[in-house]
Each structure stands twice: as C-alpha cells, then as structure tokens.
Amino acid sequence: MKYDRPYLKMQAKGLLSAARPSPIAAGAIYVALSALMSFLSARLVGVSYETVERAVRFLEQGNTEYALSVLTASQPTPSAWAINLMLELVMWIVGVGFTIFVLNTLRGTGAALGNLLDGFGFFWRIILLNLVTGIFIALWSLLLIVPGIIAAYRYSMATYVLIDHPDYGVMDCIRESKRLTAGRKGELFELDLSFLGWLLLTGLPYVGYLVSLWVTPYYALTHGMYYERLSGHVME
C-alpha cells in the first residue's frame, strides 16, 4: 500500500463539504451525544467543586475527620455507577456506528445518519472486542508506556475488521488487525501526530466543542481512508 498522508487528508477535507449526508452533520450528532454523556457521567459519579472546596477547608482547619466525612457522603451510589457504565457502553456502540457511517460514505454504499445506531446490531461483540483489546493494551502497558502505545496501534483496525466481517470472532478481528498493521504502526502514529494541533484545540473550554464539529469527521474520514487502502478495498 502506498502511504500518502497529505493526499488522504486532502481527500477527507473534500468529502467534508461534498458528501451527502454531511459527515459534519453526523459528526455534530456524535459530538453532541458524547458531550451529553460526559455531562450525565459527571453528574452521576463526579465530585462537585463545592464538595472539594468544603473538604479542603476542613483540612486546612485540621478537621481531617470532617473532611473525610464530606468526601464519603458525596460518593456515588452503586446504581449511579451502573448507569454510568451503561452510558459508556452506549457511546462505544454509537462510536462504532459513526465508523460505519464513515465507511459507507467512503464507499458510496448508502450512508445515512441512522448508521449511528447500526452498532446496536452487534452490541455484545463490540463490547467484548473493546474489553479484550483494552486488556491486551493494559497488559502491554505494564512493560512501560511505549509497548502500550504500540499495542494500541496494533489493535486499532479491529473495529473496522468487525464491521466488514460481522461473522468474525473477537480474536479473529484482533489477529487481522495485527496482520494489517504489521510494519505500518509508524505510519499510523505519524498520521495521528499530524492531527495533534487540532486535537489540542478540542480540549479548550467552549471553543473545543466547535472545533470538534470539524475535527471529528475530518479525523474519522482520514483514518477510514487509510483503512480502505490498508485492507485492499482501495488500490492506489
């Protein structure tokens, strides 16, 4: 596969304005859902600023027992943790749906905003794939951060493989991702590095959400194009 990063990014930019349905619209829905889930998660299991401020004030006064009691009283309930977990799982599924939308856009195979919900068709396999790859990456990370990063890139194509081959098992997807990325992980790292400035901007308060409306579909389309060439769907 010939790797041409500027060409991939130029093609992705063109699709942002030319493709229908608009990838920006799909990205906006995905970003909005992510923001909503993050807000709900913070309300469910987060500790408020006022609570932390009260605890710190008690600590400054030497009342360690009162500080601990304030923090203990603010601990989320088991039901709150359970709901928060379900929210995270839903966002995993919607994230896969967004990837399905991107691939359909690239292939001209009937992309629709409803693709964002298509991941629910193989809900459990998506969850299992995320869990298994997460465990593998965590285990490699025990050997220091660099092996963990390499592992993350090694398994980065597993979701694409699952979408293209819904009959594959989790380990089949992981093995195929390892095969596809063999000798290519440096390219993927370079591709991600080229988005670093944009990704830093998405972390800014308020403005970051606006930047995300552009960056999210732009990043996803570029990576989708890379997968298309890596997997042989597009020969160039």
Residue 58 half-sphere exposure toward CB, CA atoms < 13 A: 14
* Digitized pLDDT (tens) for each residue of the chain, 236 residues in all: 677 889 999 999 999 989 999 999 999 999 999 989 888 887 777 766 677 677 677 676 777 776 677 667 677 778 888 888 898 999 999 999 999 999 999 999 989 999 999 999 999 999 999 999 999 999 999 988 889 999 999 999 999 999 999 999 999 999 999 999 999 999 999 999 999 999 899 888 888 888 999 999 999 999 999 999 999 877 55
DSSP 106-160: HHTS---GGGGGGGGGGHHHHHHHHHHHHHHHHHHHTT-HHHHHHHHHHTTTHHH
Work out the number of other CB atoms within 10 angstroms of the CB of residue 91. 17
**C-beta pairs of 126-130 under 8 Å, 24+ apart in sequence:** 126/92, 126/93, 126/96, 126/159, 126/162, 127/89, 127/92, 127/93, 128/170, 129/158, 129/159, 129/162, 129/170, 129/173, 129/174, 130/92
Is 184 within a domain? Answer: yes
Using only C-alpha atoms, the chain has a radius of gyration, in whole angstroms, of 21
pLDDT for position 58: 64
| Gap between the Cα atoms of 235 and 8, Å rounded | 13
Structure tokens at 90: 């839903």
The pTM score is: 0.88
Question: Would residue 93 count as lying in a domain?
Answer: yes
pLDDT in the model for residue 1: 66
Residue 141 in any domain: the answer is yes
Give residue 99's pLDDT.
97
- Tell me how many domains the chain contains: 1
pLDDT of residue 66: 62
Q: Would you say residue 85 lies in a domain?
A: yes
Tell me whether residue 100 is in a domain: yes
On whether residue 70 sits in a domain, the answer given is no
Asked whether the beta carbons of 47 and 71 are under 8 A apart, the reply is yes
The boundaries of the domain holding residue 111 are 5-45+78-230
Q: Is residue 223 part of a domain?
A: yes
Any domain includes 52:
no
Residue pair 116/29 in contact by the 8 Å Cβ criterion: yes
